[in-house]
Amino acid sequence: MGEPVARETRHDHAVVGTGGGPLAQSVERRVGAKTAKALGKLGIRTVGDLLRHYPRRYADRGRLSELRDLRLGEHVTVIAEVARSDIRPMRNRRGAILTVQITDGTEVVTLTFFGKHRGSLEFHARKLRPGLTGMFTGDVSNYRGSRQLLHPDYETFEDLDAEFAAVDRAERPIPIYPAGQSIPTWKIRTSVAAVLDTLDADDVPEPLPEHYRREHGLPDAFTALHQIHAPRTDGEWKQAMKRFRHEEAFVLQAALAQRRAAALAEPAVARPARSGGIREAFDARLPFDLTAGQRDVGAVLEEELGEPVPMMRLLQGEVGSGKTVVALRAMLQVVDAGGQAALLAPTEVLAQQHLRTVMALMGPLAEAGMLGGAAEGTRVVLLTGSMGVSARRKALAAAASGEAGIVIGTHALLSEVVQIPDLGLVVVDEQHRFGVEQRDALRAKADVTPHLLVMTATPIPRTVAMTSFGDLETSTLRELPRGRAGVTTTTVVPADKLRWVERTWERLRQEIDDGGRAYVVCPRITSTGTVVSGEDPDGEDVAELAVEMVGGAEQVVADVQTPKQDRPTMSAVEDVLPMLRALPALQGVAVGQMHGRLSPEEKDVAMADFSSGRTPVIVSTTVIEVGVDVPDATMMVILDADRFGLSQLHQLRGRVGRGTRPAICLAVTTAAPGSTTFERLSAFAGTNDGFELAETDLRLRREGDILGASQSGRSSSLRLLRVLTDAAIIEAARTAARDLVARDPGLTGEAGLARMVADSLDEEAAAYLERT
């Protein structure tokens, strides 16, 4: 890494891309206090902020027209000479009329102005003296068979230079800025112009290496700022936009490449596979064959774990694609090599489930030192926040002594008292709940940097992965294990179609009678309290923390965006439970409940009862969202489905259809057909392909939200870059940035880039501090 950045010197808002110098100066000095205050409401504080406040679009003044070409109804701008001007009283009522004839030497057009009296028109008459040339803009109308411009805007020219300048300006696109109530777009335009005028090329840092600019035909930063704010042609602003998209991608990718390079530069312990060890024994007792995808990814992990360089890999795959088995095999390879592995889950429920799954898959291999334990076995311990003191102490001791080869836990694992001295591999499940900082906290537990495997069931489009998880390499499990139905039919149920709703419960009854299990998901626990998605006591903290992290917060951001109080009734477990129990259609069917207010023991019992069929229907919050595995579950009813983000809905749906029987999912909503919300749910019903949904989600959602940025109007460092459509730019920037960082890790040869990377990290840090 380059020079350490002096963060403590920047208490104020961090600024993207100022590079210090004149761009870091407050706008107030340039535009005055009043305008500065108005700009401040848009988050613009420095000259740099103002210059990065790009136009939203460009208006066309209309090309200059020739007088002979004017057509009725057109909005036109013409240049012509004043031939005659005349003020006279109106004939039939009070008031006066000024008519001005303008000509280009051949054609004549009339300008007409009305006034209350003669005096109010003299101002115009004085300016529109015969013989002067001017530029006139207005709508063409008809006046007694000839063409006129009524009350046109105009300016007259004192000399030819003024005329040429005006011609030039008339041809230019007019930038239209994102404005606010505090300030109109034209005021922003004049502020930007004032600032641009005083700027020298040296004042603007250039983060793009020259060879990169040449290769992609991009203007330099200084030129591009002029082109985007004061373009002479459409081509200019388009070129400038392209340049700034590249710039945003490049700065981000350089930051990620540096982060990755720094991580890779730390030595890791090679944990090569060993024959005759626990992993082989594990493979031998697996009740199924690995899918081709599991084998391929397994081979990649095996090789990377065998290197003295830290693995940094993201494993994505739909719910049920068998990621856990893949991760477990990697953990066992590390145990074989004498190390320990930690599996970090986002909630208690999931940590417990992982423990059960891992114990079941490992059997005697997880019971080293115990009666019946296998000789080549190890121990698996659980560490969560709600454990009793003595259980916790035992688990801590087993982890610290190295006796436990595998430690499974929630974010309680991050606590400083937890020691895992031989930690060789960290597996983070469901990454969207964790931020980079938490990942780092866990990795810091080991004496030597451990290998890292991040797993996510939220399919991430490639370019989003490159942006949010740009420091990780990606592997994907695309197929589901055979024998799995994997098909869930989804239907959107409008809540006001009472017959549909009735039918929903009848259908649920049928499913139970056929031996299935059903989830009924509600957005909240009680009808009064606040909504907390994923509100497991552990999960709550983690979800909140995750929102604070830049990147990887996609899922959680969607949760948070769900309005919390506005809309009135929302289904609550507390209300739905008695409702279902009283329902004639469900007579004799036991209905259980599951949510974050239950104690860990109650949760265990609830899940066990559901799984065994004692309570075949469970009313639940999103606690069941991730990872929970009950193969017999064949139906899910999601109440107030519009309250959930697309990827969250997809996660929820992944709880069913995990057995051999096809499943159904009913998304009940009060959203009006035709609304964006309904469209979102229709998209959800329309496909089981998580990748397709993720892309739809991107399309329907504001871009800034994807990267977890720009909450509370804070400026994000990505303004023009679109992760969906700018894939080529992101790829190019990533390749080049990685090359550059490989050659020059401190970016010493690219001062402008180094400065902007530092600024963007500053902003990230400032944003983080602000929220803690």
> Which residues would be at the binding site for ligand ADP (CB under 6 A)?
288-291, 294, 317, 319-325, 457, 481, 629
Is the four-CA dihedral 409, 414, 416, 420 of positive or negative sign?
Answer: positive
Q: Which is nearer to ligand ADP, 295 or 393 (CB)?
A: 295
Q: Which is nearer to ligand ADP, 128 or 355 (CB)?
A: 355
Token code pair at residue 396: 């801590």
Q: Which is nearer to Mg ion, 627 or 659 (CB)?
A: 627
Residue 428 exposed, middle or buried by CB count within 10 Å (0-12, 13-18, 19+): buried
Q: Which is nearer to Mg ion, 47 or 455 (CB)?
A: 455
Q: Rounded to the nearest whole angstrom, what is the least distance from the CB of residue 375 to ligand ADP in the complex?
A: 25
- Of 400-419, binders to Mg ion (CB under 5 A) are none
486's contact among Mg ion, ligand ADP, none, with CB below 5 to 8 A by partner kind, is none
291's contact among ligand ADP, Mg ion, none, with CB below 5 to 8 A by partner kind, is ligand ADP
Q: Which secondary-structure segment (H or E) carries 477?
A: strand 473-477
Written in H, E and C, the secondary structure of 233-295 is CHHHHHHHHHHHHHHHHHHHHHHHHHHHHHHHHCCCCCCCCCCCCHHHHHHHHCCCCCCHHHH
Q: Rounded to the nearest whole angstrom, what is the least distance from the CB of residue 321 to ligand ADP in the complex?
A: 4
Give the integer Cα–Cα distance in Å for 112 and 149. Answer: 6
- Of 271-330, binders to Mg ion (CB under 5 A) are 324
Q: Rounded to the nearest whole angstrom, what is the least distance from the CB of residue 636 to Mg ion in the complex?
A: 17
441's contact among ligand ADP, Mg ion, none, with CB below 5 to 8 A by partner kind, is none
Q: Rounded to the nearest whole angstrom, what is the least distance from the CB of residue 611 to ligand ADP in the complex?
A: 12
321's contact among ligand ADP, Mg ion, none, with CB below 5 to 8 A by partner kind, is ligand ADP
- Residue whose token pair is 């390079």: 261
Q: Which is nearer to Mg ion, 384 or 467 (CB)?
A: 384
593 neighbors 620 (Cβ within 8 angstroms): yes
Q: Which is nearer to Mg ion, 10 or 484 (CB)?
A: 484
Q: Rounded to the nearest whole angstrom, what is the least distance from the CB of residue 627 to Mg ion in the complex?
A: 4
Taking alpha carbons only, the member of 724, 383, 701 closest to residue 553 is 701
Q: Rounded to the nearest whole angstrom, what is the least distance from the CB of residue 184 to Mg ion in the complex?
A: 53
Taking alpha carbons only, the member of 59, 102, 62, 108 closest to residue 84 is 102
Strand partners, 353: none
- Answer yes or no whether residue 534 interacts with Mg ion by CB under 5 A: no
186's contact among Mg ion, ligand ADP, none, with CB below 5 to 8 A by partner kind, is none
Taking alpha carbons only, the member of 259, 670, 365 closest to residue 493 is 670
Give the integer Cα–Cα distance in Å for 772 and 763. Answer: 14
List Cα–Cα distances, 522 to 479, 608, 622, in angstroms. Answer: 30, 20, 7
Q: Rounded to the nearest whole angstrom, what is the least distance from the CB of residue 275 to Mg ion in the complex?
A: 28
Q: Rounded to the nearest whole angstrom, what is the least distance from the CB of residue 538 to Mg ion in the complex?
A: 17
Q: Which is nearer to ligand ADP, 325 or 508 (CB)?
A: 325
Taking alpha carbons only, the member of 294, 281, 289 closest to residue 324 is 294
Q: Rounded to the nearest whole angstrom, what is the least distance from the CB of residue 30 to ligand ADP in the complex?
A: 55
| Relative orientation angle of helices 554-561 and 537-548, to the nearest 10 degrees | 100
Q: Which is nearer to Mg ion, 324 or 648 (CB)?
A: 324
Q: Which is nearer to ligand ADP, 369 or 483 (CB)?
A: 483
199's contact among Mg ion, ligand ADP, none, with CB below 5 to 8 A by partner kind, is none
Q: Which is nearer to ligand ADP, 259 or 323 (CB)?
A: 323
- Of 149-178, binders to Mg ion (CB under 5 A) are none
Q: Which is nearer to ligand ADP, 294 or 463 (CB)?
A: 294
649 neighbors 680 (Cβ within 8 angstroms): no
Rg of the chain in Å (alpha carbons) = 33
- Answer yes or no whether residue 55 interacts with Mg ion by CB under 5 A: no
Q: Rounded to the nearest whole angstrom, what is the least distance from the CB of residue 283 to ligand ADP in the complex?
A: 12
Q: Rounded to the nearest whole angstrom, what is the least distance from the CB of residue 52 to Mg ion in the complex?
A: 41
Q: Which is nearer to ligand ADP, 16 or 477 (CB)?
A: 477
Q: Is 59 helix (H, G, I), strand (E, B) or coil?
A: strand
Stretch that binds Mg ion, among 188-196, 221-229, 623-631, 664-672 (CB under 5 A): 623-631
Taking alpha carbons only, the member of 214, 228, 174, 207 closest to residue 51 is 228
Taking alpha carbons only, the member of 430, 729, 728 closest to residue 554 is 430
322's contact among ligand ADP, Mg ion, none, with CB below 5 to 8 A by partner kind, is ligand ADP
Q: Rounded to the nearest whole angstrom, what is the least distance from the CB of residue 327 to ligand ADP in the complex?
A: 8
115's contact among ligand ADP, Mg ion, none, with CB below 5 to 8 A by partner kind, is none
Token code pair at residue 630: 């009950």
Q: Please state, as a whole number, how many other Cβ atoms lie within 10 Å of the Cβ of residue 716.
A: 19
- Answer yes or no whether residue 627 interacts with Mg ion by CB under 5 A: yes
What is the residue type of 126? R
696 neighbors 683 (Cβ within 8 angstroms): yes
Q: Rounded to the nearest whole angstrom, what is the least distance from the CB of residue 658 to Mg ion in the complex?
A: 11
Q: Which is nearer to ligand ADP, 326 or 721 (CB)?
A: 326
725 neighbors 491 (Cβ within 8 angstroms): no
- Residue whose token pair is 């609830």: 606
State the pairing for strand pair 633-638/517-521: parallel
Q: Which is nearer to ligand ADP, 138 or 657 (CB)?
A: 657
125's contact among ligand ADP, Mg ion, none, with CB below 5 to 8 A by partner kind, is none
Written in H, E and C, the secondary structure of 320-350 is CCCHHHHHHHHHHHHHHCCCEEEEECCCHHH
Q: Rounded to the nearest whole angstrom, what is the least distance from the CB of residue 322 to ligand ADP in the complex?
A: 3
What is the residue type of 588? G
* Residues 335, 357, 608: CA angle, nearest 5 degrees: 150
448's contact among Mg ion, ligand ADP, none, with CB below 5 to 8 A by partner kind, is none
320's contact among ligand ADP, Mg ion, none, with CB below 5 to 8 A by partner kind, is ligand ADP
Q: Rounded to the nearest whole angstrom, what is the least distance from the CB of residue 325 to ligand ADP in the complex?
A: 5
- Of 331-350, binders to Mg ion (CB under 5 A) are none
Token code pair at residue 229: 């704010």
Strand partners, 666: 491, 637
Give the integer Cα–Cα distance in Å for 466 and 256. Answer: 9
Count of residues interacting with Mg ion (CB under 5 A): 2
Q: Please state, as a whole number, how many other Cβ atoms lie within 10 Å of the Cβ of residue 389.
A: 7
Residue 157 exposed, middle or buried by CB count within 10 Å (0-12, 13-18, 19+): middle
Q: Which is nearer to ligand ADP, 593 or 648 (CB)?
A: 648
Binding positions for Mg ion, rule: CB under 5 A: 324, 627
